[in-house]
Amino acid sequence: MTTQTSIAPPPAATRRAPRAGGSTLERRRQRWGWLFVTPFLIVFALFLVFPLVYAFGMSLFTSTLATGTDFTGLANYAKAFTDPLFLEGLLRVLAFAVIMIPAQLIVALIAALVLDSLATWLAKLSRLLIFVPYAIPVVIGALMWSFLYSPRFGPGATIFGLVGLPTPDFLASDTVFGSLVNIVTWQWAGYYMVVIYAALRSIDPAIYEAARIDGANGFQTATQIKVPMISSSMVMVITFALIGTLQFFTEPVVLRNIAQGAIDAAYTPNMYAFSLAFSYSQFNYASAIAFSLGILVFAGSYLFLFLTRKQSGLK
């Protein structure tokens, strides 16, 4: 008969305890990590944090020729939220959001679903062509569309002249809203399409195969499988579009001199703040207008993410 011997573990007192504070290698990695991040933090602080803090400080003061600069606290913010020009511009960008965001989302979603169902070289070319408008600078795109909208030398005059119809003025007071919606949708739908298309490509193809076996057609697969499975990406797209729409600025500024009075200096809140600061030198009140808009953008984005937390995967 053989006997088995076992080796007892060493006493707890003789075991080597880990050193407090982590290993030397870990501390060295942390130092190198901070070293690489420091240049970004410096640039971030100088060109974003410091200007924001300085602008917020300005918004708490009021400067006049008679009394000079006085600390007025939140008086500029109270004035902003009762300013009819600011409120009118805010309602206008909200109207843009109601029309423009669904238009961008529908165009991007349809394009992404169509391209996802194709597997030819034409799909790759189409994806590139749809994305190209986003690669064009916003100012260049707005100038290009101002030429296309022109009733005198734009292509519209030639096209409508061929059928004997008068050329519509796309930059009149009652049509400039739709013209701006068209420009922004053309500019951003391609970017949102790429985001949605990337989400569609991450879905396991086996799910589509199972749907075909169960008898689902292409439309049912798209509406009942694909769209629900990319809901988090859809929420992200809508959030980006909401933030961008509330900060609407470049396109109306470019078209302002061509629209012949259809776009005034307070057409959007950002334009109003810009006009107050650089046309009337009201830098304190302009800062308050800008921060008031920022507060509303943050609140609107947070509320939307809170209401869609289940679709976005947030808790």
pLDDT score of 2 = 46
In a domain, 271, yes or no: yes
Give me the domain span that covers residue 145: 75-312
Q: What Rg, from alpha-carbon coordinates, does the chain have?
A: 28
pLDDT score of 216 = 83
pLDDT score of 26 = 84
Task: Say which CATH number the domain at 152 has.
Answer: 1.10.3720.10
pLDDT score of 1 = 42
In a domain, 210, yes or no: yes
Instruction: Give the burial class of 240: count Cβ atoms within 10 A of its Cβ; 0-12 exposed, 13-18 middle, 19 or more buried.
Output: middle
Question: pLDDT truncated to tens, each residue of the chain (315 aa)?
Answer: 444 444 555 554 455 555 544 578 888 888 888 888 999 999 999 999 999 999 999 999 988 877 778 888 899 999 999 999 999 999 999 999 999 999 999 999 999 999 888 877 787 888 888 999 999 999 999 999 988 888 777 787 788 878 878 888 888 888 999 999 999 999 999 999 999 999 998 888 888 888 888 888 888 888 888 998 998 899 999 999 999 998 899 999 999 888 878 899 999 999 999 999 999 889 999 999 999 999 999 998 899 888 887 765 555
Q: How many domains does the chain have?
A: 1
For the entire predicted model, the pTM comes to 0.83
CA distance 145 to 180: 9
In a domain, 261, yes or no: yes
In a domain, 208, yes or no: yes
In a domain, 55, yes or no: no
In a domain, 59, yes or no: no
User: Which two three-digit tokens encode residue 303?
Assistant: 């509320």
In a domain, 31, yes or no: no
CA distance 166 to 147: 17
In a domain, 48, yes or no: no
